[in-house]
Each structure stands twice: as C-alpha cells, then as structure tokens.
Amino acid sequence: MCDDDTEADNTEWLAKRALSRRDFTLLGAGAALAVVPGCGADRGPWANTTDAVPAPSSANGGAAMVYRTVTFETPDGKADGFFVTPASGKHPAVIMWPDIAGLRDAYRKLGTRLAEAGYAVLVVNQYYRSSPAPILNDFAEWKTDAGKAKLDPMIAAINPEATTRDGAAFVAWLDAQPEVDAGKKIGTCGYCMGGPFTFRTAAASPARVGALASLHGGNLVNDTPDSPHLLLEKMQAALLIAIAESDDKKEPEAKDKLRQAADTAKRIAEIEVYPAQHGWCALDSPVYDATQAAKAWTRMLATFAAHL
C-alpha cells in the first residue's frame, strides 16, 4: 500500500533518477497529469455531476460516453461513486477501486478510458463511510501532513469485513442498472490499496465476478487468516496481478505464494513483476510510468475480454 515506507522508497528512486527539486515538485503537483487530457488540478467537468451527460472522449477518439455521480445504499451506509458507460446499449460492468488518495480526476479519467473499451464502469469512493468524494484532489495532496492526517482515520474505518460487504453491494447495484448486461460476468480492478479489495470483491460474489486486476496492489499476502491470497479458493475469477519491482524487492516471496495459491485453487492467474515503482499506473503519481502503465492496461483489457 502507499505508506510512508513506500513513499520514502519512491523519493529515493526519484532522486537516483537525478530529478531536480523543481522537477520533483512539478511532478508531485500534477505534471504527470498534464500529459493526460482532462486530468489537472482543476476538478474539471465532473465536479458536482448528478445527471448523465456526455463524457470527454479520449485523446485517440472513442465512442460517446455518458457519466453521472451516483449514490446508493449499502449495509454500511450511503456509498457514492462515478459511473461511466457507453452512451447506448448494455455492457459488462467493472468495479474500479482507486489508490490511497481516493476517487478524484485521475480515476475518473481511467474509468472513462475503460468505459471507452466497452464497459460500464463504477469508480467507487472507498471512504464513503467518512465523506463523499473527492477526499483529496490529487495524489500530491496525500503526501502532505494535512492530507495524511485527513486520511488516517478514514483508512482506519475500512477493514476486510467491511470491504467484503462493499464488494457485494457494488455488484448488486451494478446488476440493477439498465446500462449493465447482467448476463455477463463483472470485472474489478484496483490500484495500490484497491488491489486487495478486488480479491475481497471476487470472493464476496463468486458467481458474478469473472476477472480481477490488481495493479501495484499492496498487502496481497500477509500472515493473517483473512490474507487476500487465501481467498482464491472462494472465488471463480481469473486474476491479473501486476507487481511493482520495488514491492517485489521488499517481499520477494509474495509472488510465489500468490502463484501457489492460484495453482491450488485452480485459478487462471497472470502474475508478473513490472520494472516500475509502486504507483506506476496512477496518472498523477510522481512515479507514473507511461510505458509500463500501457502494458498493464493492455493486459487488463485482455483479461477482461477473455473472462467477462
């Protein structure tokens, strides 16, 4: 997960890349977003959106999208999220779990891009128990003392049991939407702290979730009885597990335990260490790696196409 140790490691990595203090500040404040249309410090056209309206198309052009901010009841209270779909027809659904900084423009952009590939995408606010989204405006804000102080109690309010309930509730909500083809399996993808949440979602609704993608997911393997890797026998999903090289150096045994768990559960699993830092897929992360992010995105689309 994006904790202080991870950030210290990323800072050291950036220093080794000989970034100047000015370059690092620009990156942290959103220079990575500048290369992605629609993702800047301004919250953009999604602010306070409640009705379905046309979503911005991607730079390479895509079919018309519609999006809306949604709120709905769960066993733990009223959840909110960003729901984006192609403008017409029914489509397989995907639940997208953001990283530690939560639902913000960077993930609205990713959700829209995924919808352009033909999916009905719900980007969730994992902190809904504490506050509606956005909690923070960008990843750089989490790196501040104020940002961490704001998020710490919200993170503490999330536990494995709560996430499992959330996953089941999000699946049920999607199945009731007219834009969703409930005859197709549902996918889920998660970044950083969202990685293990995809495992819990798949285990909570095994008959519905057909594929998951964990992108630099944190804490996938631990010594607790509810470690995410122990959930594979409870799910029916194919797995894409993209591991950061920096995470693998800290826990080199994790990938082997994940492979063993997948083999034991007879789950299809693509497990790969990418030559990138933790957080490399997050558009507004200072360690965003466009080449490796594109590779992970391509593999995620292939996994969803094969299993949803």
| pLDDT given at position 3 | 56
| pLDDT given at position 48 | 39
Distances (CA, A) of 51 to 54, 55, 86, 115: 10, 11, 15, 17
pLDDT band at 42 (very low <50, low <70, confident <90, very high): very low
Q: Which residues pair with 266 in a beta bridge?
A: none
CB 231 within 8 Å of CB 203:
yes
Q: Is the pLDDT of residue 13 over 80?
A: no
pLDDT band at 4 (very low <50, low <70, confident <90, very high): low
pLDDT band at 263 (very low <50, low <70, confident <90, very high): very high
Structure-model confidence comparison of residues 33 and 193, the more confident one: 193
Distances (CA, A) of 248 to 30, 224, 242, 273, 306: 27, 20, 10, 7, 27
Fold of 4-307: Rossmann fold (3.40.50)
pLDDT band at 62 (very low <50, low <70, confident <90, very high): low
| pLDDT given at position 57 | 47
Q: Is the pLDDT of residue 34 over 90?
A: no
143: left (phi over 0), alpha (psi -120 to 50) or beta: alpha
| pLDDT given at position 217 | 97
Omega before 86 within 30 of 0, i.e. cis: no
Cα torsion at 191, 247, 297, 203 (round to 10°)?
-50
Q: Is the pLDDT of residue 130 over 90?
A: yes
SS (H, E, C) the chain: CCCHHHHHHHHHHHHHCCCCHHHHHHHHHHHHHHCCCCCCCCCHHHCCCCCCEEECCCCCCCCCEEEEEEEEEECCEEEEEEEEEECCCCECEEEEECCCCCCCHHHHHHHHHHHHCCCEEEEECCCCCCCCCCCCCCHHHHCCHHHHHHHHHHHHCCCHHHHHHHHHHHHHHHHCCCCECCCCCEEEEEECCHHHHHHHHHHHCCCCEEEEEEECCCCCCCCCCCCHHHHHHHCCCEEEEEEEHHHHHHCCCHHHHHHHHHHHHCCCEEEEEECCCCCCCCCCCCCCCHHHHHHHHHHHHHHHHHHC
| pLDDT given at position 27 | 40
pLDDT band at 10 (very low <50, low <70, confident <90, very high): very low
pLDDT band at 5 (very low <50, low <70, confident <90, very high): low
Q: What's the mean pLDDT in 143-156?
A: 93
CB 186 within 8 Å of CB 208:
yes
Q: What angle do CA 158, 160, 163 make, to 5 degrees?
A: 65
Residue given tokens 């490691």 in the structure block: 9
Cα torsion at 84, 213, 289, 68 (round to 10°)?
10
Q: Is the pLDDT of residue 45 over 90?
A: no
| pLDDT given at position 41 | 29
pLDDT band at 208 (very low <50, low <70, confident <90, very high): very high
pTM, to two decimals: 0.85
Question: Which amino acid is it at 67?
Answer: Y
Q: Is the pLDDT of residue 14 over 60?
A: no
Average of per-residue pLDDT values in the chain: 86
Sorted by where each begins, the domain ranges of the chain are 4-307
Q: Is the pLDDT of residue 89 over 90?
A: yes
Percent of the chain whose predicted confidence (pLDDT) is above 90: 77
Question: Which amino acid is it at 92?
Answer: P
Q: What angle do CA 134, 135, 137 make, to 5 degrees?
A: 65
pLDDT band at 211 (very low <50, low <70, confident <90, very high): very high
Q: Is the pLDDT of residue 271 over 80?
A: yes
pLDDT band at 120 (very low <50, low <70, confident <90, very high): very high
| pLDDT given at position 26 | 42
Q: Is the pLDDT of residue 12 over 70?
A: no
Return the minimum-mean-pLDDT range out of 10-14, 220-224, 228-232. 10-14
| pLDDT given at position 143 | 84
